[in-house]
């Protein structure tokens, strides 16, 4: 983690000098700007903005062709020294600054499962940055990404190289919005500050609300009163406004990656509904619409019935 000189070999092991490689990711040029917009069959990147009209709208996607939707992964660290050793050993990871790192799309990450492989990315844009991470204090790590798909891939990738007793993922935060951009507005989207977006005061925590409900239900003996409590919860959920930024726990080690993918897919579907103009639709309504059997004849979810 010593300071890197501009003419020193880059820590990402690309073989190039730092000034010609990952230093560019710190000045919002080249690799850090590899977010593209697609409209119809065309794709636009910041390196080739002349093809995007001043007022032409396009859905913003990454260079690996996923919807641009911000996600932050939260890890609890149990052995910081060993974690740093593991990260430093990976050729795809570039350490810089004060316990910060980049995860590039080459070497160990080249087969993580994204739709566009590294050799499908223009050579002048390689290696693209999949994620930016930072270690906070002795026990926390956050990793920021620009698509939900990348988030799932990186969760599995890190789990392969870093055991749970070193660091484990505990929560995910999502910015539940798809972005339509023009040449004039793309800069604003690209300059989004993750720390600002995912600040605790911005965050909706549905898990905490559900935990509060379960805690209240435990102290109620009457079945009728429990049913009334659950019904009120469902009615409130149905009327609740959609939440733009959410943080929720994940149970990757118990349930696997599919449960996370399912959760994120619902958030993508909801964001698309909002993009199409159905802005009042919330998650509860979306799930009820897609999976009608989630609601029984009494209006109570099957999941909640076990607590009644």
Cβ neighbours of residue 173 closer than 8 Å, sequence gap 6 or more = 71, 72, 74, 198, 203, 245, 246, 247, 248
Task: Read off the pLDDT of each residue in 13-26 and give the average, rounded to a whole number.
Answer: 51
Task: Read off the pLDDT of each residue in 60-76 and give the average, rounded to a whole number.
Answer: 93
Q: Tell me the average pLDDT of the chain.
A: 78
Angle 106-110-116 from CA coordinates, rounded to 5°: 110
DSSP state of 20: G
Residue 7: other Cβ atoms inside 10 A: 9
pLDDT at 3: 44
pLDDT at 20: 55
Six-digit token pair at 203?
A: 């965050």
147 and 179 in contact (C-beta within 8 Å)?
A: no
How far is residue 162's CA from residue 51's CA, in Å, rounded to a whole number? 42
pLDDT over 50 at 305, yes or no: no
Domain boundaries, the chain: 18-204+243-275, 205-242+278-308
28 and 190 in contact (C-beta within 8 Å)?
A: yes
Six-digit token pair at 126?
A: 């390689």
| Model confidence pLDDT, tens digit, residues 161-170 | 999 999 999 9
HEC sequence for 89-121 = CCCCEEEECCCEEEEECCHHHCCCCCCCCHHHC
| Model confidence pLDDT, tens digit, residues 73-93 | 999 999 999 999 999 999 999
In this prediction, residue 173 has a pLDDT band, given cuts at 50, 70 and 90, of very high
pLDDT at 101: 97
Task: Read off the pLDDT of each residue in 113-134 and give the average, rounded to a whole number.
Answer: 90
Map residue 307 onto helix, strand or coil: coil
How far is residue 107's CA from residue 113's CA, in Å, rounded to a whole number? 13
How far is residue 214's CA from residue 199's CA, in Å, rounded to a whole number? 26
**CA torsion, points 41, 46, 52, 54, in degrees to nearest 10?**
150
pLDDT at 202: 84
Task: Read off the pLDDT of each residue in 260-271 and give the average, rounded to a whole number.
Answer: 92
How far is residue 304's CA from residue 231's CA, in Å, rounded to a whole number? 10
Task: Read off the pLDDT of each residue in 151-171 and give the average, rounded to a whole number.
Answer: 98
Six-digit token pair at 227?
A: 């049913």
pLDDT at 29: 31
Map residue 143 onto helix, strand or coil: strand
Most confident range (mean pLDDT) of 33-37, 151-155, 255-259 is 151-155
pLDDT over 80 at 160, yes or no: yes
In this prediction, residue 22 has a pLDDT band, given cuts at 50, 70 and 90, of low
Between 52 and 117, residue with greater pLDDT:
117
69 and 176 in contact (C-beta within 8 Å)?
A: yes
Candidate from 78-87, 98-107, 190-199, 295-304 with smallest mean pLDDT:
295-304
pLDDT over 50 at 131, yes or no: yes
pLDDT at 37: 37
| Model confidence pLDDT, tens digit, residues 195-251 | 999 998 888 876 666 666 667 777 777 877 777 766 666 656 555 677 899 999 999
Phi-psi region of 97 (alpha: psi -120 to 50; beta: other; left: phi over 0): left
């Amino acid at each position: 983690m010593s300071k890197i000189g501009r003419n020193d070999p880059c820590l990402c092991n690309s073989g190039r000098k730092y000034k010609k490689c990952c230093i560019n990711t710190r000045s919002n040029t080249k690799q850090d700007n590899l977010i593209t917009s697609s409209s119809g069959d065309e794709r636009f990147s910041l390196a080739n903005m002349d093809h995007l009209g001043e007022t032409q709208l396009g859905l913003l996607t990454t260079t690996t062709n996923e919807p641009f939707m911000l996600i932050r992964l939260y890890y609890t660290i149990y052995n910081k020294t060993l974690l740093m050793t593991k990260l430093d050993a990976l050729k795809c990871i570039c350490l810089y600054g004060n316990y910060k790192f980049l995860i590039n799309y080459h070497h160990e990450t080249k087969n993580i499962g994204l739709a566009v492989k590294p050799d499908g990315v223009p050579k002048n844009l390689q290696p693209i940055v999949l994620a930016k991470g930072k270690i906070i204090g002795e026990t926390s790590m956050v990793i920021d990404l620009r698509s939900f798909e990348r988030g799932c891939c990186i969760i599995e990738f890190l789990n392969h190289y870093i055991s749970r007793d070193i660091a484990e993922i505990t929560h995910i935060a999502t910015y539940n919005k798809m972005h339509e951009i023009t040449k004039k507005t793309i800069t604003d989207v690209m300059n989004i500050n993750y720390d600002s977006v995912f600040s605790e005061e911005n965050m909706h925590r549905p898990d905490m609300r559900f935990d509060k409900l379960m805690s209240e239900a435990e102290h109620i003996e009457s079945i009728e009163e429990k049913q009334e409590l659950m019904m009120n919860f469902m009615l409130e959920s149905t009327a609740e406004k959609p939440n733009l930024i959410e943080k929720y726990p994940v149970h990757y080690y118990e349930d696997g990656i599919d449960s996370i993918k399912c959760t994120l897919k619902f958030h993508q579907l909801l964001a698309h509904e909002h993009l199409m103009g159905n802005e009042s639709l919330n998650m509860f309504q979306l799930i009820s619409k897609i999976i009608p059997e989630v609601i029984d004849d009494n209006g109570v979810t099957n999941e909640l019935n076990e607590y009644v």
